Amino acid sequence: MKSVLIGVGQAGGKLARELVEYDERMGFGSIRGAVAVNTAKADLRNLPFETVLIGQDRVKGHGVGGDNELGAEVMQSDTNEVLSALDGRITAGVESIFVVAGLGGGTGSGGAPVLAKELQRIYDVPVYGLGILPGRDEGAMYQVNAGRSLKTFAREADALLLVDNDAFRSAGESVTEGFDSINEEIAQRVGLLLASGEAVDGVAESVVDSSEIINTLRTGGIAALGFASAEAAPDAEGNINTVMSTTRRALLSGSSLPDATDADAALLIVAGEQDAIPRKGVERARKWVEEETGSLQVRGGDFPLSSDRIATLVLLGGVERSDRLETFMERAADAQKAEAEDPTDGDPAEQWGNDELDDLL
Ligand code: GDP
């Protein structure tokens, strides 16, 4: 799926760079352009694509300091500068736009939903969010920011693919130490997903195409992406169990949003040498994903590439009812309450749907 990325804020810019570099390294060519937007001048250095500094009149290039309402305001006033930077990049071949941001900070958290809304108004292609949830041990401000941002972002984008900063953390590693490795993990997953939707010369009909990604995300709301890989046997028969076990791992322990397995729709992609991908294994794994997610809309397809491994990607659409997300929304609402010193309680199961957390827009 040919896509253009817009990284907003520090994490957004870094992750966009990681994605661009992965796509180039793999020679996929699915990322057709990237732009980074920030209120902090220093965070735009070292990015190998066009950058746009917004809010100069308000914060003079020093950032919004974790104030996501200010981040939203600044994006609102300077949207035109971002749109000019995009001018001519959303060409006829581009199939989607991704707005990439860390949801716990200020610029990305506040600016990304505002930008998604503007892009929706202007372009016909789907506008997706790629948002990073703060880890458990980040402070209350990050949790509140992320809670408010993700509600708004999910509403304004066609779908919001979430990555939990706790998901790929190694034991003993702090969130900050782990950023680079987390970014690599995300770039690989998302990079493979985008590339899987590209046409491959001379291969069979079960190949994934972009419309399957778009249809899986059509229900909107929150999406998650799981991944796992294993060494492949040279023949398809020898890989039936491998496809099953990598599918299980992708969903149960390799997801960008752990424990989010109830979904409205799913897409199972099996990548590897074309001759080594077992039809029977893929079909069995697809049925298993149906049972596990409770969704009757589970699509499946191959992604033929030259590799001695079998890799499985599981894209889930509509996972907002998951326990993991409800726990997070509860954490964010608690933090907001503590900040406001308001002792009134709410039903945690209702956090997603109700107004416990203020919207940003
Ligand atoms: P902004 O520049 O104001 O948008 O703020 P940041 O982008 O620094 O956002 C802060 C949030 O993003 C925090 O919740 C961090 O955990 C997360 N974050 C910051 N940098 C990175 C990064 O390189 N990788 C990942 N995965 N998360 C990051």
User: Domain residues of the chain, as ranges?
Assistant: 3-196, 224-317
Which run of H or E residues covers position 230?
Answer: strand 222-231
Sign of CA dihedral 5, 8, 12, 14: positive
Pick among 3.30.1330.20, 3.40.50.300, 3.10.180.10, 3.10.129.10: CATH of 224-317: 3.30.1330.20
Burial code of 305-324, b = ≥16 C-beta within 10 A, e = fewer?
Answer: beeeebbbbbbbbbbbbbeb
The Cβ of residue 237 has, within 10 Å, a number of other Cβ atoms equal to 11
Q: What confidence score (pLDDT) does residue 149 get?
A: 96
Q: How far is the CA of 11 from the centre of ligand 1 (A)?
A: 4
107 marked as part of a ligand binding site: yes
Q: How far is the CA of 107 from the centre of ligand 1 (A)?
A: 10
Taking CA atoms only, the protein residue closest to ligand 1 atom 19 is: 11
| Positions in the chain short of pLDDT 50 | 342-351, 354
165 marked as part of a ligand binding site: yes
CATH topology of domain 3-196: Rossmann fold (3.40.50)
Q: How far is the CA of 102 from the centre of ligand 1 (A)?
A: 5
Bridge partners, residue 79, by sequence: none
120 marked as part of a ligand binding site: no
Which pair of tokens denotes residue 361?
Answer: 């827009």
Cα–Cα separations (whole angstroms), residue 178 to 140, 174, 190, 195, 201: 20, 6, 18, 26, 38
Q: What confidence score (pLDDT) does residue 346 get?
A: 43
Asked if 127 and 158 count as a contact pair (C-beta separation under 8 A), the reply is yes
* Sequence-distant (≥ 6) Cβ neighbours of residue 172 within 8 angstroms: none
Q: How far is the CA of 82 from the centre of ligand 1 (A)?
A: 20
Three-state secondary-structure class, residue 102:
strand
Q: How are beta strands 265-272 and 309-317 bridged, if at all? A: antiparallel
Q: Write out pLDDT tens, residues 216-230.
A: 999 999 999 999 999
- Helix 140-156 to helix 107-122 angle (10° resolution) is 0
* Sequence-distant (≥ 6) Cβ neighbours of residue 342 within 8 angstroms: none
Asked if 251 and 226 count as a contact pair (C-beta separation under 8 A), the reply is yes
Taking CA atoms only, the protein residue closest to ligand 1 atom 25 is: 179
**Residues within 6 Å of ligand 1 by CB:** 9-11, 14, 43, 102, 104-109, 132, 134, 138, 142, 165, 175, 179, 182-183
Closest CA to 109 of 32, 42, 10, 253: 10
Asked if 132 and 103 count as a contact pair (C-beta separation under 8 A), the reply is yes
Q: How far is the CA of 228 from the centre of ligand 1 (A)?
A: 25
Taking CA atoms only, the protein residue closest to ligand 1 atom 28 is: 11
Q: Write out pLDDT tens, residues 5-63.
A: 999 999 999 999 999 999 999 999 999 999 999 999 999 998 999 999 999 999 999 99
Asked if 148 and 68 count as a contact pair (C-beta separation under 8 A), the reply is yes
Mutate which of 44, 165, 168, 331 for ligand 1 pocket (most atoms within 8 A of beta carbon): 165
Q: How far apart are the first and last CA of the chain?
A: 29
108 marked as part of a ligand binding site: yes
Which run of H or E residues covers position 61?
Answer: none
How far is residue 319's CA from residue 296's CA, in Å, rounded to a whole number?
A: 14
How far is residue 264's CA from residue 328's CA, in Å, rounded to a whole number?
A: 20
Q: How far is the CA of 189 from the centre of ligand 1 (A)?
A: 19
Pick the atom of ligand 1 nearest to 40's CA: 2
Taking CA atoms only, the protein residue closest to ligand 1 atom 24 is: 179
